[in-house]
A and B are shown apart, each in its own frame.
Chain A
Amino acid sequence: MSELAVSLLRLSYLLALWLFVFAALGVLRRDTYGTKILRRAAGAMSLVRKRRVVAPPVPDSPSRPTDDAAPHPQRSARPAAPDSDAPNRLVVVSGPLRGTTLPLGNGLTIGRSATSNLVLDDEFTSGRHALIAPRDGRWYVEDLGSTNGTFVGRQRISRPVPVRIGSTVRIGQTRVELR
């Protein structure tokens, strides 16, 4: 083989090797996953659309006007009209976020991950820790397989448990109540 052919073979192999490296880096760049920050208008829409799958919507959800925009015959047929007994907000009664109030809407997720509705920056909280959602007019809290558990009163819950107004749910260092 000529000197030139040897050099060409040698350099073309190194080129192929680096081509692979850059292709892999390219895949990683396109493959970013995790969370993205959206402007409120666009983000709220997509979140609401997802939340609708989570649980049947509750009529009085002031924070999500988009809910009422879509006609929804089944829901309007429902008798669960504004009820003075029905809780409509979640209040953090102790912990770092004490005093925070969130509208319950169609249900809330609580956890450390940025996608939760109530984000708790707490070492004792799991990424997706607990879910608070309505079912047949009652509100339930469910643990989503967290490491340190969700407590209603003193009891660590292992299945969805109904919560009433004023009953305390403890997650890590935070206590929340439905009001």
Chain B
Amino acid sequence: MATVAPYPARPGRGAELGLLALALGTSIYAFAQVSLAMTGELTTDFKRFAIGYPALALVVHVLLRLRAAYADPVILPVAVLLNGTGLAMIYRLALRYQVSQPEFGQIFSRQLIWTALGVVAAVCVLGFLRDHRTLRRFTYTTMLLGLAGLVLPLVPGIGVEQGGARIWIRLGQMSFQPAEISKILLTIFFAGYLVTRRETLALAGPKFLGLRLPRPRDLGPIMGAWLASLAVLIFEKDLGTSLLFFGLFVAILYIATDRPSWIAIGLLLFSGGVVVAWRLFAHLQTRVDTWLDPFADYYESGYQLSNGLFGLASGGLMGTGWGKGRPDLTSLAFSDFIVDSLGEELGLTGLFAILICFLLLVQRGMRAAMGVRDGFGTLLASGLAFAIALQVFVVVGGVTRLIPLTGLTTPFLAAGGSSLVANWMIVALLLRVSDGARRPPPATHEIDVAGLMAAEEGSQAA
């Protein structure tokens, strides 16, 4: 005979500090190598980073000690390492561009500012949001805001079209992708909506080929999400965002209902939509042709992808070392193709370490989802973790020619302010949910007898 007892939960802040020191040390070491390899000395930018970046990370760490003492100890260090590695690569490219392409010379200083803003956003989320369940109250508000963010780039005047996709808005000097923030808002909406609807959607339906299918009238929500993602695909011409939102919805639906048939239906709907869009739009056909054979049209459509692949090849197993490769030969080496740039200079060994960091981040999110005691928290954390996983898969799969290239940013690594701010907010939400998941339930449970008596007397009087 045996009994089951809970492990005492440990806050893990000490372990977090240790890992944070390692992550910061690795980032600063990368920066020092970049600085030495490119200029032969430790630049002022390096010194600014070596002082400012640890300060930012420590602010979040101290806030966690005060406000979310039981939060997962691995999430923050992993985010700090990924962001630091991305900054080092962007700095390395910026130093090169100052010589060759001055129009990109400012990417590093901008990314540094956005990093600070991202950390501020995370601090705000952790500071103001004391319990993730508060967000459930705003289920429909977040839906409206999220959808508004999706259609904002279509508004004439502020929406800008870049590289064939209309997903940016321009405010003064800054351009911003509102879809990145919409991703968080719509995850909150999906989680809040599906946690109340999951019983209906999980009800028995006809069984077909071993899959229990939903009833036709329960298909409403998935059709709505499908039409919305098709609208993004058609009007904004962005396959990546469309795939991200629909995939996110199907994943949360599956987690809420525990029914594999939703995944089958989702894949079927999405592939149908993609085939239709592929027939209609020339730029999607080009993407697919480039994916199948990037060298067929090397100097035109296949140039970027082929050069990225050459970069990965020249990196080999151990990489060329920081600052010793030529990742700048690939266009957009600092945003869409930053994974290829890192693969070139850090090699397969370094790229795998980075991918494992993403895996750790996603796994910790899923673990928080399993541990948290409310259904909304489960769906929220698993949705956010899945969004990171899907995004990494789509980007890394795209630049390594596993799937056609789509325009999504690599979380934390790629240059891009909206993505960085959104990802820091996701990290803050995951930390908040994991705090709820790991915090031991209150040991004493006192029954409020006085209140009970008063209520009984009240009901007798009535």
Contact = CB atoms under 8 A, between A and B. Distances in A.
Please classify how large the interface on chain B is, using the bins under 10, 10 to 19, 20 to 34, 35 or more: 35 or more
B3 A21 contact: no
Contacts of B12: 27, 31
A38 B73 contact: no
Given A20-B19, A20-B22, A14 B1 contact: no
Contact of B350 (A17, A36, A46, A159): A17
Interface string A6-25: 11011111101111110111
Given A9-B33, A47-B3, A159-B451, A24 B438 contact: no
A72 interface: no
B73 A40 contact: no
B444 A27 contact: no
Interface string A107-130: 000000011000000000011100
Contact of B438 (A12, A33, A39, A128): A33
A115 B6 contact: yes
A23 B356 contact: no
A64 interface: no
A136 B446 CA distance: 12
A24 B350 contact: no
Contacts of A35: 4-7
Contacts of A25: 360
A153 interface: no
Interface in A15-69: 16-21, 23-25, 27-28, 30-40, 43-44, 46-47, 50, 53-55
Contact of A53 (B33, B371, B443): B443
Nearest to B40: A1
A54 B36 CA distance: 63
Given A14-B350, A17-B26, A140-B447, 11 more contacts: A9-B36, A9-B322, A17-B350, A17-B353, A21-B360, A30-B15, A37-B2, A54-B444, A133-B447, A144-B445, A159-B451
11 contacts: A11-B318, A14-B350, A38-B2, A38-B5, A39-B1, A47-B5, A50-B443, A53-B444, A115-B5, A128-B373, A135-B449
4 smallest CB-CB distances across A and B, nearest first, come from: A43-B3, A10-B321, A17-B353, A40-B1
